[in-house]
Structure formats: C-alpha cells, structure tokens
Chain A
Amino acid sequence: MADVTATGWGGGSAPFAVPSKKLGMWLFILSDSLTFSALLVAYSYSRIANPAWPTPFEMYPAVLFSSIMTFCLLSSSVTMVLAVSAAHRGLRGAAVKWILATMAGGLAFVVLHANEWIHLIYTEGVTPFHNPWGAPLFGATFFTLTGLHMTHVISGVIYLGVIAAGFGSGRFESADVEVAGLYWHFVDLVWMFIFPLVYLMSVNMKG
C-alpha cells in the first residue's frame, strides 16, 4: 500500500495517507452525491407539495420487487467488501469470485428494475409528461432519478467486470479493487434513499 501513496509532491507525506486513486474516487463520490441529492430533493419536494401525487406502487409487484432489489444491492455490497478483503490478502481467485457475485447482484437489480420500467411505460402508460393517476410531473422526476441511478448500476457492473478481468490477470492491484468497491457502495447508498423516498412514500394502500 505504501508504494502507491503519493509522496512526490514536495510537501512531505500525503495528508490523508491514501493512494491518489482512492482520494479521486472519494471526490467523485462527493460531487455525484450532490447530483443525486438535488434530484432526490426535487422529487420529494414535488411529492410532498402535491396532494394529487400518484401513489401507484402496490404491494405486489412494485413494493415486493423493489424490496428484493434493495436486498440485491445490499447483499452485493457485502460480497464487494469480501472481494476487497480477499484482494488485500492476495487471494486473487477468491477476490474475482466475490466480484462476480457482486456483478450478479447488480445484474439482478437491473433486470428487475428494467422490468418495472417496462410495466410502467407499456402497461400503465406513464411517460415523462403524462401518467394516468395525477400530477404529470411524476413521470419526469421518477424516470430522471431512477434512470440516472440505473445508469450508475450498469456502468458499475461494467467497471467491476473490467476490474475482475484485470485483477485476475494480475494487471491491477488490490488498491484498484478497493476503489471500485467505493463506487459500488456509493451506488448502493443512493438506492437507500431512492427506495424509501420514491417507493415507500407512494405506496398504494389499496394494493
């Protein structure tokens, strides 16, 4: 670990004692959190200010499936920390297997989420500026927020695939696995806000 710590900038030791890639990922996560915060606050603002906000999420399938999606992401975070821990101990094979398990969790999430989008778009007729239930803004805010998150999950799965291949072949170090882990946990963290604010605030009591 010590060999990747930046010391060559003439200012003594690295102030945070972390590799520069890791600090870079943290700074990216900081700025991305603010993007998601802005979208989440915009959604929640519209949600609470509108008495006619749609409450389309029924127990089955929406709440059940989004709970399973939450479980998938949380569990994939655990497999990711296990991958990082194996990578730091030099167990390349185990680390790659745990990364593949993480990717499987991410893929399950994407499949379930895409399925829900297709249901909302084709069966219920929700578009960004129209929906059958009430406040037209629902579609725009819902698709922007969950769409940006789904983009992050898909890029994350691709990123992890590249890391798994590179770490398996010895091209990447365990520090690279750790940085990929930071990104993956962040994607999980964002969902911890989208799930309650979007789904649980708008459950359909009749369903």
Chain B
Amino acid sequence: MAEQEHHGNRLYLIVWFWLLAMTGVEVFLAYERLPIHLMLALLLGLSLVKAALIIAYFMHLRFEKRSMTLTLMPPLVICICLMIVFSFPDGLRLLDMRK
C-alpha cells in the first residue's frame, strides 16, 4: 500500500504538469486571432480534458468502483450536452444576424 501511494504522489505531479501545460496552451490560444466558434471549441475541448484529468486522478474516480463512475458521470454529461446543444448554435446564429 505504501509503495502504491508513493507511486501515486509521482503520478499527481505528472498530472499537475500536464494541467499547467494545457493552461499555458490556452493562454497562448487567447492571443491568436481565431474565429470565435473555433476559439470556443478549442478552449472548451482543452478544459474538458483538464476536468477529466482532475476528476480521474485528483478526485480519484478512476480508482473507485466502475459502477460509481457510471452512476455519477452520464447524467452530468447528458445535462451539460443538452445545455450546450440548445445554447451555442443559437448564440452563433444571433451573432451572424447582428453582424
């Protein structure tokens, strides 16, 4: 157990490094003059990867029983997808109308 947790601490530092690296990429992207829908997609995509890393490793969900992940994650993902599907296409439509 102690050996396993020792490995664990190294794993946490690796995850931390990747989270910081992805944050750096996001800050870099902010200064590229990209079209707004592409920017939104890239930033949201990177943030979802970061969220997945935090949930899986820092919040330890990867090491819990699979049934817990399957109970907690699908409703969250479905609700958020519904919000995104109904809002962002409409937001971009309004942007096109106002230009």
Contact = CB atoms under 8 A, between A and B. Distances in A.
Partners in one complex: yes
Interface of A: 15-18, 23, 26, 30, 33-34, 37-38, 41-42, 44-51, 63, 67, 70-71, 74-75, 77-78, 80-82, 85, 88-89, 178, 181-182, 185-186, 188-189, 192-193, 195-197, 199-201, 203, 205
Contacts of B87: 41-42, 44-45
A42 B90 CA distance: 12
A196 B26 contact: yes
Interface of B: 2, 5, 8-9, 12-13, 16, 19-20, 23, 26-27, 29-31, 33, 36-37, 39-40, 43-44, 46-47, 50-51, 54-55, 57-60, 64-65, 67-68, 71-72, 75-76, 79-80, 83-84, 87-88, 90-92, 94-95, 98-99
16 contacts: A15-B67, A17-B65, A34-B76, A34-B79, A42-B87, A45-B87, A49-B90, A49-B94, A50-B98, A71-B20, A74-B16, A80-B58, A81-B9, A188-B58, A196-B47, A197-B44
A33 B51 CA distance: 11
6 smallest CB-CB distances across A and B, nearest first, come from A200-B30, A49-B94, A196-B43, A49-B91, A16-B68, A48-B91
Contacts of A34: 76, 79-80
Q: Chain A: interface secondary structure?
A: helix
A18 B54 contact: no
A63 B27 CA distance: 8
A70 B19 CA distance: 10
A205 B31 contact: yes
B90 A192 contact: no
Given A15-B67, A51-B98, A192-B19, 9 more contacts: A16-B68, A42-B87, A46-B91, A49-B94, A74-B19, A74-B23, A78-B12, A192-B50, A193-B51
A89 B27 contact: no
A162 to B, nearest CB: 20
Given A49-B91, A196-B47, A78 B55 contact: no
A49 B84 contact: no
A41 B23 contact: no
A111 to B, nearest CB: 20
Contacts of A46: 91
Contacts of B95: 48-51
A30 B76 contact: yes
Contacts of B43: 196-197, 200-201
Contact of B84 (A41, A47, A199): A41
